[in-house]
Amino acid sequence: MTMRAPLTDLPIMFADTGYVVSTLPVLTQISLTIGAGTPTILIGPNGSGKTTLLRLAMGLASPSSGRVTWNGRTEVPPTRRAIMFQRPAMLRRSAAGNVRYALAAAGVPRADRDECTADLLARVGLDALRDRPARRLSGGEQQRLALARALARNPEVLFLDEPTASLDPAATKAIEDVIRTVAASGIKVVMATHDLGEARRLAGEIVLLHRGRVVETGPAASFFAAPHTEEARKFIAGELLV
């Protein structure tokens, strides 16, 4: 008899989690539950710990103190999770070649890869550019290709680290449209951004980080309409959080 695969990695729970580099605290006393449902958007100024929190939630880094658990388990291989980093590196291949490589890495049988590649490129709106060298694509197209590669793992949870940073409005909209479709398809999206407008457009749940601490969490509607903390009020008002 074979072991049945675990049904879900959710919720992902941080319990009094700390992360220290050398002696520098990067994350401090994080208590947070990331459950199924609408996108969870991590916001906060540069250096507030967003990327580090995503890496811990993905399982790429281990906490220095406290725990991270996936549906109650502490050791969970990231087969059902995918992450898209802020500056994804494109392989020196076509757009389709990049996706096919990701499918192979995800263990998709060779016979299924062409069809899956076509599906994934269509999902991110790159079907017409399938044969274009990936490194010749525009910044926004490369980000969408990176999304397709992440989706090749057929993840339950998709972590996105500032996927629209440095993109123009049209390219940003194209990425956000894909993210909305992905979320609507039932994939849990967990995304870091320092762009408040983007957070408003996509959340879900908001998690505000400041100096490595979670200072406020809540549904986007109440977070923006009636923030509880001074930090959240300042951040929403566009004041610099230092």
Interface ranges with ligand ADP (CB under 6 A): 21, 26, 44, 46-52
Q: Which stretch binds Mg ion (CB under 5 A): 6-14, 23-31, 49-57, 194-202?
A: 49-57
Identify which of residues 9 and 161 has a Cβ nearer to Mg ion in the complex. Answer: 161
Min dist CB 66 to ligand ADP, Å, is 16
Least distance in Å: CB of 8 to ligand ADP? Answer: 26
Which listed residue (40, 48, 51, 142) binds Mg ion by CB under 5 A? 51
81, 88, 191, 227 from 125: Cα distances, Å: 22, 18, 20, 37
49 binds, among ligand ADP, Mg ion, none (CB under 5 to 8 A by kind): ligand ADP
- Tell me: does residue 48 bind Mg ion (CB under 5 A): no
When the beta carbons of 47 and 222 are compared against ligand ADP, the nearer one is 47
Q: Which of 47, 93, 41, 73 is nearest to 240 (CA)?
A: 47
Q: Could you tell me the smallest distance in angstroms from the CB atom of residue 166 to Mg ion? A: 13
Nearer to ligand ADP, 21 or 122 (CB): 21
Q: Between 71 and 166, whose beta carbon lies closer to ligand ADP?
A: 166
148/160 with CB nearer Mg ion: 160
Q: Please, which residue, 2 or 46, has the CB nearer to ligand ADP?
A: 46
Cβ-proximal residue to Mg ion, closest one? 51
State the nearest-atom distance from the C-beta of 40 to Mg ion, in Å: 16
| Structural contact between residues 7 and 74, judged by C-beta atoms closer than 8 angstroms | no
From 26-34, 43-51, 166-174, 202-210, span contacting Mg ion (CB under 5 A): 43-51
The pair of structure tokens assigned to 153 is 């793992």
Query: Which positions from 153 through 192 interact with Mg ion, judged by CB under 5 A?
Result: none
Binding positions for Mg ion, rule: CB under 5 A: 50-51
